[in-house]
Chain A
Amino acid sequence: MDITLNVNGRPEQFSAQPNELLVERLRDGLGLTGTKVGCDTGQCGSCVVRLDGRSVKSCLVLTASAAGGEIATIEGVTTRGGELSGLQEALRQEHGTQCGFCTPGMVMALGELVDATADGPAPTEPEIREWLTGNLCRCTGYHSVVRGVQRACAAHRDEVPAGSAASTAAAPEV
């Protein structure tokens, strides 16, 4: 079937099988390999992209069902070698990635949280942790990721990050 998608601001037209997964189109069809595949059952979150603004697991979305939609992948967050987004920069400062395989999915999922809370109060630590339950990470234990989100939200609000490595007793120098 013929399908049109808007991916990172670019219109893409192609023919796809009805059973094709969105992640297959992105990785194999469009060469956008920043989106990762870590499991077969929608558990790990490495393949999260944003579809019409909402973060979705692209291994659980059929390409056909996304037809006409606006897709944002990690490649659309910044250019290759380009300046990091506020969230990415905050994660960098908190070392919120180790092997990096889950990271693009994390950035896409957390991007929605940061955007969704931009005009209100910053999300609390439990809210951030709850939001992150759709993304598995085996390296970091999540702490540096949570601190990264706190830092990003604080920077957006021009505040000292509540849970950053610099300011909390929970994370003294090791």
Chain B
Amino acid sequence: MTTVTGEAPADRGGVLGQPLDSREDPQLLRGEATYVADIDLPGTAHMAILGSPVAHARILSIETKAAEQLPGVLKVATAADFADVMPLPCIWIPGGVESHFPPHPYGLPGARPVLTGDTVRHVGDPIAVVVAETPRQAAAALAAIAVEYEPLPVVTRADEALADGAPQLHEAVPGNLNAYWTCGDKDRTDAAIAAAEVTVELDLVNQRTINSPIEPRGAVGDYDPATGEYTLYASTQGPHNHRFLLAALVLGIPFNKLRVIAPTVGGSFGTKGYLYPDMPLVLLLSKALGRPVKWVDTRTGLMNSTVQGRDHRQHVTLAGTRDGRITAVRCTSYANLGAYPSTIGPGVATALMGRSISGMYDIDAAFCEVYAAFTNTVSLGAQRGSGRAEAAFLMERLVDRYASEIGMDPAAVRRKNLVPKEKFPYDNGLGWTYDSGNYQLNFDKAIELSGYADMSARKAEARTRGKRLGVGIATYVAICGVGPSTRMSQEGMLGGTWESANIRVHPTGEVTVTVGSASTGQSHGTVFAQVAADELGIDPETVQVHEGDTQKAPYGQGTYGSRSYSMAAPAVALTARKLKAKLVRAGAVFLGVPEDKVVYEGGAIHEEGNPENTKTFAELAMAMWYGWGLPPEIEPALDETTHFDPPDFNYPFGTHVAVVEIDELTGETEVVAYTAVDDAGNIGNPKIVQGQIEGSIVHGLGQALLEVAEYDENGRLVSADLGHYALPRAADVPFFALDKTVTPSPHNPLGAKGAGEIATVPPAAAVVNAVVDALSDLGVRHIDMPLTPEKVWRRLRGESQ
């Protein structure tokens, strides 16, 4: 493994950093890309899953005979058919485990079985599967499976699940408590709060939301009896991870007998990195039936099965001086993990949130405690900006409360407390060491760009139109670049978190880059080609990028947490440097000069001081393919791989400003202006990053204004389709004002920081701050999201929350 520090490249005028058009786009625009649902292997049979219609019950009996006799039905299976299959493991144990060697996640309490046989724990909990000739026949047969349930009491809130007498989900988890997790200094924080001139407190609900990639998940299993090899096609953001989890931990089959292929994946935002029952099921049923087995989820199925996000209930406290200096922050959070520990959900709910709560501020004392509990809801997992968005929300709401309490401008309070530039690397006291930043520059740029100074006049003008205008600021730091494997093991991650790249130079001089990561729509093929071309000094058009097939790609962990550009791209760059170094060594032979006289420049080598004595990249590629005349210490061919494990995380940050107008008659909130200044270090392709930032902001606005996964008292997800779960639409948002600052990270050779999802972190806080600002003269101090017109209308009329 390689670690490189402190090298932040200057602008070399190469293709890296240029807004090249995405080379993936034409295929997508022509509708030619193949997603899982488009795969049609000869002889495919179709699987449907029977999910529980009730949230909590004992299964008394399952009768499948009638279903088995329906037309086209090939197989009906229940938990009894999969008794040898291990439960789906959780590989992020909050706070770590005693020893990570050997890592062994078997037997973790509460793990989800492939199918449940005795108890259902949420609506949608898989009980049985049908495989039939057509999807319609499979779906129809589900209705003929008779299941007798003995209802059990239901709990859907984390805080209520922890109360005495609450319904119990897992015998092995008394009290439903998965983890009590803390970070920071409790005594110091309690003392600072007790001694403070001013304290403010809030009770916050960071509501559960549903990621909602437009492509539902799907899986195709194909077992080849001739070779004994399984192939899984799945909508996955981490094919290698899924291979590892399935082969080693669930199915217990040889690693080299399982191939996982991610075709084009239609968005993910965190959800498609998780292990789901359908994945082992299609493989096992393909073997049993001797045919490929395909499963494609429905939207309602997705909403009752695919991991959901956020869902914290928090009591938060901030302490400070009368003149605006923050002295302490404290958070007690009840995190709702759902019915089973998802692949990494418990880590999302604890470390990613808790260690991030102090944000961009230099605070002397901070403490966070999280009670992570099981409830009768869909399992919790990552969601675009996961953990970090929940942290930014609580901190930025607190800062506004504090500013209001001491009668100071919210921008002035923030500016006064930003971590100063000279304090980096900065230990935030909660477990993160921020790598680099110039927060003042970033903050000032956003405030200026937003026209913050003119807001009083704009508020007065809006009132003449029956509108209340409000402005809200939110800053954030988003840990990215997950990550350094040893550091992640201390967080309880069971598995490496490095990333990899291979570069193969073909004899005619074209190049293939293969990475372990896997795109879910981030134009990896464009950006990684830019990285390789920039390093090698060649035309990016001669570089092809491949990923997503475990049989072809070097081991890697996938895309999550905005990691690909600061984890996989550095692996590409380091691999290109290995190739350059080899070409310099070999070039000494080809040029007939000592190695220290060989200069690699502009995609060619030449003799120092004698540019006439030169070989082009294509000439070198062919010469290395022939291998003639190479000394024994230089291998022929050009084919190198790097596994990149960074020395530490990276920490992008930014400042967003939302301006809203509230209609006094209807309570409707409209975002009329939105400014975002983000710092993602050095950027590989600004056009692609701009698209990701715009999409991320809209996702965050969705949580603020529209989205909530609503469970009724029986544990039924009421918002289980897109008619009841409101995603932002094009008419809900204005164009944004975007800008950037650039503070390279010292933790990778590109100076890169995470970018893809970081702009989802602050919008919810910015919008709620803006709405509370607009209503502050009515005594409104907080409104829970989503800020529906009805909720706001009631507050306009003086009703309390």
B-contacting residues of A (Cβ < 8 Å)? 31, 33-41, 43-44, 46, 73-75, 77-78, 80-82, 84, 88, 91-93, 95-104, 107, 125-126, 128-130, 132-133, 135-146, 163, 165, 168-174
- For residue B38, CB closer than 8 A to chain A, the reply is yes
Chain B interface bracket (under 10, 10 to 19, 20 to 34, 35 or more)? 35 or more
| A33, A39, A99 interface centre (most CB from chain B within 10 Å) | A99
By a CB distance below 8 angstroms, the chain A residues around B26 are 84, 88, 92
By a CB distance below 8 angstroms, the chain B residues around A135 are 730
* Interface pair B216/A38, CB less than 8 Å apart: yes
Q: Which of A40, A91, A102 contacts B300 (CB 8 A)?
A: A40
B721: nearest residue on chain A (CB-CB)? A41
By a CB distance below 8 angstroms, the chain A residues around B269 are 138
- Determine the main DSSP class of B at the interface with A: loop
Given A38-B216, A95-B22, residue A170 in contact with residue B28 (CB < 8 A): no
* Interface pair A99/B520, CB less than 8 Å apart: yes
B212: nearest residue on chain A (CB-CB)? A138
* Interface pair A163/B735, CB less than 8 Å apart: yes
A-contacting residues of B (Cβ < 8 Å)? 19, 21-22, 24-35, 37-38, 40, 211-216, 264-269, 296, 298-300, 520-523, 678, 683, 686-699, 721-723, 727-731, 733, 735-740
Q: Which of B40, B683, B695, B738 contacts A98 (CB 8 A)?
A: B695
B28: nearest residue on chain A (CB-CB)? A100
A101: nearest residue on chain B (CB-CB)? B266
By a CB distance below 8 angstroms, the chain B residues around A46 are 214
- Determine the main DSSP class of A at the interface with B: loop
Q: Which of A81, A82, A91, A174 contacts B693 (CB 8 A)?
A: A174
By a CB distance below 8 angstroms, the chain B residues around A139 are 214, 267, 521, 691-692, 695
Given A36-B35, A102-B214, A129-B730, residue A88 in contact with residue B739 (CB < 8 A): no
By a CB distance below 8 angstroms, the chain A residues around B214 are 36, 38, 44, 46, 99, 101-102, 136-139
Q: Which of B30, B213, B296, B738 contacts A172 (CB 8 A)?
A: B738
CB distance from A34 to the nearest CB of B (A): 3
Given A40-B299, A174-B689, residue A98 in contact with residue B37 (CB < 8 A): no
Q: Which of A88, A104, A168 contacts B735 (CB 8 A)?
A: A168
* Interface pair B28/A97, CB less than 8 Å apart: yes
* Interface pair B730/A171, CB less than 8 Å apart: no
Q: What 6 pairs between A and B have smallest CB-CB spacing?
A: A34-B31, A99-B521, A100-B28, A101-B266, A141-B698, A74-B31
By a CB distance below 8 angstroms, the chain A residues around B692 are 98, 139
Complex Cα distance, B214 from A141, in Å, reads 13
By a CB distance below 8 angstroms, the chain A residues around B40 are 31, 33
* Interface pair A34/B30, CB less than 8 Å apart: yes
Complex Cα distance, B697 from A87, in Å, reads 25
* Interface pair B694/A97, CB less than 8 Å apart: no
CB distance from A19 to the nearest CB of B (A): 9
Complex Cα distance, B738 from A169, in Å, reads 9
CB distance from B695 to the nearest CB of A (A): 4
By a CB distance below 8 angstroms, the chain A residues around B727 are 136, 138
* Interface pair B695/A100, CB less than 8 Å apart: no
* Interface pair B695/A97, CB less than 8 Å apart: no
* Interface pair A95/B698, CB less than 8 Å apart: no
By a CB distance below 8 angstroms, the chain A residues around B216 are 38
Tally of A-B residue pairs with Cβ under 8 A?
A: 213
Q: Which of B212, B689, B733 contacts A141 (CB 8 A)?
A: B733
CB distance from B48 to the nearest CB of A (A): 13
Q: Which of A37, A39, A80 contacts B37 (CB 8 A)?
A: A37
* Interface pair B31/A174, CB less than 8 Å apart: no
CB distance from B736 to the nearest CB of A (A): 7
A91: nearest residue on chain B (CB-CB)? B29
CB distance from B729 to the nearest CB of A (A): 5
Given A40-B721, A46-B214, A93-B21, residue A103 in contact with residue B695 (CB < 8 A): no
* Interface pair B723/A43, CB less than 8 Å apart: yes
Complex Cα distance, B40 from A129, in Å, reads 36
Q: Which of A95, A138, A163 contacts B25 (CB 8 A)?
A: A95
By a CB distance below 8 angstroms, the chain B residues around A41 are 299, 721-723
By a CB distance below 8 angstroms, the chain A residues around B723 are 41, 43
By a CB distance below 8 angstroms, the chain A residues around B19 are 173
* Interface pair B735/A99, CB less than 8 Å apart: no
Complex Cα distance, B690 from A80, in Å, reads 29
* Interface pair A99/B266, CB less than 8 Å apart: yes
Complex Cα distance, B31 from A173, in Å, reads 28
B23: nearest residue on chain A (CB-CB)? A92
* Interface pair B730/A142, CB less than 8 Å apart: yes
* Interface pair A43/B722, CB less than 8 Å apart: yes
* Interface pair B30/A95, CB less than 8 Å apart: no
Complex Cα distance, B264 from A133, in Å, reads 25
* Interface pair A171/B735, CB less than 8 Å apart: yes
Complex Cα distance, B40 from A31, in Å, reads 9
Given contact pairs A38-B215, A142-B733, enumerate 11 new A-B contacts (beta carbons under 8 Å): A81-B30, A88-B30, A93-B21, A98-B522, A99-B264, A99-B520, A132-B729, A132-B730, A136-B729, A137-B695, A168-B735
By a CB distance below 8 angstroms, the chain B residues around A73 are 31
| A35, A74, A174 interface centre (most CB from chain B within 10 Å) | A174
By a CB distance below 8 angstroms, the chain B residues around A77 are 30-31
B688: nearest residue on chain A (CB-CB)? A95
Can you sample 18 A-B contacts with CB below 8 Å? Answer: A33-B40, A37-B37, A40-B300, A78-B30, A92-B26, A98-B521, A98-B522, A99-B213, A100-B27, A100-B28, A100-B521, A125-B735, A138-B267, A141-B696, A143-B691, A143-B736, A170-B735, A170-B737
Given A39-B721, A138-B267, residue A99 in contact with residue B698 (CB < 8 A): no
B737: nearest residue on chain A (CB-CB)? A170
Complex Cα distance, B733 from A126, in Å, reads 10
By a CB distance below 8 angstroms, the chain B residues around A40 are 298-300, 721
* Interface pair B28/A84, CB less than 8 Å apart: no
Complex Cα distance, B730 from A173, in Å, reads 22
* Interface pair B215/A165, CB less than 8 Å apart: no
Complex Cα distance, B19 from A146, in Å, reads 19
Complex Cα distance, B519 from A97, in Å, reads 14
A125: nearest residue on chain B (CB-CB)? B735
CB distance from A24 to the nearest CB of B (A): 8
Q: Which of A31, A35, A44, A142 contacts B31 (CB 8 A)?
A: A35
CB distance from A152 to the nearest CB of B (A): 12
* Interface pair B37/A171, CB less than 8 Å apart: no
Complex Cα distance, B795 from A41, in Å, reads 33
B267: nearest residue on chain A (CB-CB)? A99
By a CB distance below 8 angstroms, the chain B residues around A174 are 678, 683, 686, 689-690, 693, 738-740
* Interface pair A171/B721, CB less than 8 Å apart: no
* Interface pair B267/A101, CB less than 8 Å apart: yes
